[in-house]
Amino acid sequence: MARIFKPSKGKSSSKKPRNHRAGATSQRDFEVLRYADDGRGIAIDNGKVVFIDGALPGEKVHAELIKTGKRFDEARCLSVHSPSPLRVEPTCGVYQHCGGCQLQHLNYRGQLEYKQQRLKKIIAGIADDVAVGAMPSTAFGYRHRARLSYRLGHLGFRRRASHEVENFVQCPVLMPELEGAIDAVRGPLLAALKPSKSAELHFALGTTATGEVAVGLSLEDQAARTSTWCMALAKALAPAVMLQRVSSVGGEWCHPEAMPLNYDFSFRHADTDEADSSQGRGEFFAGDFTQVNPAINQRVVEQCLSWLKPQAGDLIADFFCGLGNFSFPLAQCGARVVAMDAGAAMIERARQVSARYPGEPAINFHLADLFDEGQIALPKGINKAVLDPPRAGAKALCQRLAGHKTLLEIVYISCDPATLARDLVTLTEGGWRVQGAISVDMFPQTHHLESMVYLTRSGLK
């Protein structure tokens, strides 16, 4: 595999990079050669790697060094002498400072290609005869949830490489309904949070039990908050936003009348291209994990079903199941499902939904820490599995699955290329073969890469 340069997060014998003062000696021209894994451009200056924020491969840029180190330097692009044909004007007015997006200066076709090539490098080192597909998204207006920070009178996203907060008026990657709700409650929130040094706010867009669009809020505050304060804030935010819970040094407060948000467990049958008529609803609160891009999530679920072809007689394990994102669609197709996750609240809500789900799907939800080898229990007789781990991947689980004899098919959904590469090596060394791979653009305008990989036992397909 080609060597990929990126800043090390671990310990190093080199000196810690230091801030470099801006000045005539810190600004120079660079020729950008390729992308780094985090979307920055890479140049070589006197034999040293330089990561340049805002630069694209093939460009000649004028950049300012902001950090220097023994192994690599870091810089930010100030101007472009010879722009790439893929360069575009960023849509967001605060893009240069906000840490939410990294690729708005790259057109959407270029973003898809960049992410697809990253996955191709991983797959090429494991299965050189497998084509890597791409699953595009709507470029803007796709996020149904957002995490904002409050700090000393400012409410917004964190600035790049900083704890400071960047205020924003509009955010083009948020769904319009979510963006509008945040704008509507900005004033009351700033007034209420003013005595606090900092807080984290989790907004989420969903629907009510009657199908109406609604926005929920979960607040984590460093200041001590009383139930009286919480109720007053809830009234000030309504009806634009439902304050569902507040966590502070005074404890956790939950709105006595707070109802969970809903989302549909819907998918389209590959053979008829029609939506499933027995779809149900999942329940979540602001702050719970749900995929940020609902439209792409639906396509991911459909691709998983297309690969596994679940049917009566299958026993499928859904590892890192969360609220049942894959469990319910798999069961709707007739399979029996054993679902596992470490989130006690999510497992409990998934059980409650399952109990009143149309047709009572055959799903058993279990609480298990899948990073703890002692808690990994592989259900007897499973023949298919879905893995959707967090960024840490599924090292211990893949070591167990690699030699499992009754298991014939795996779909691995990854949000971190490095841990995906590690886990695929473990599986292929255990006799598994990659049959399909797709770069999924779950997070347009960012460098984050979601991937789907389909594996079977060697020689089966």
- pLDDT (mean) for 419-431: 97
pLDDT given for residue 459 in this prediction: 56
Radius of gyration over every alpha carbon of the chain, rounded to an integer in angstroms: 24
Domain annotation for the chain: domains and CATH numbers: 18-87 (2.40.50.140), 110-138+294-457 (3.40.50.150), 145-259 (2.40.50.1070)
Residue of 92, 101, 230, 415 with catalytic role: 415
Pairwise CA distance, residues 457 & 432, whole Å: 5
Q: How confident is the model at residue 14 (pLDDT cuts 50, 70, 90)?
A: very low
Distances in whole angstroms, Cα of residue 371 to Cα of each of 344, 367, 393: 15, 12, 9
**303 is an annotated ligand-binding site residue:** no
In three-state secondary structure terms, 236 is: helix
User: Does residue 311 have a pLDDT over 50?
Assistant: yes
The percentage of the chain sitting over the pLDDT mark of 90, rounded to a whole number, equals 77
Q: What is the pLDDT of residues 23-70, one digit of tens each?
A: 446 999 999 999 999 999 999 999 999 999 999 999 999 999 999 999
Q: Among all chains, which residue has been given the structure tokens 């029609």? A: 274
**Active-site annotation holds for 415:** yes
**45 is an annotated ligand-binding site residue:** no
- pLDDT (mean) for 286-300: 94
Beta strands in 101-248 (DSSP E): 132-135, 145-151, 154-158, 165-167, 198-207, 213-221, 242-248
**388 is an annotated ligand-binding site residue:** yes
pLDDT given for residue 18 in this prediction: 45
By the 10 Å C-beta count (0-12 exposed, 13-18 middle, 19+ buried), 157 is classed as: buried
Q: Which of 12, 57, 3 is nearest to 30 (CA)?
A: 57
Residues 6 or more apart whose Cβ sits within 8 Å of residue 180: 240
Distances in whole angstroms, Cα of residue 298 to Cα of each of 156, 165, 212, 266, 338: 29, 33, 20, 7, 21
**341 is an annotated ligand-binding site residue:** yes
**Prediction pTM value:** 0.89
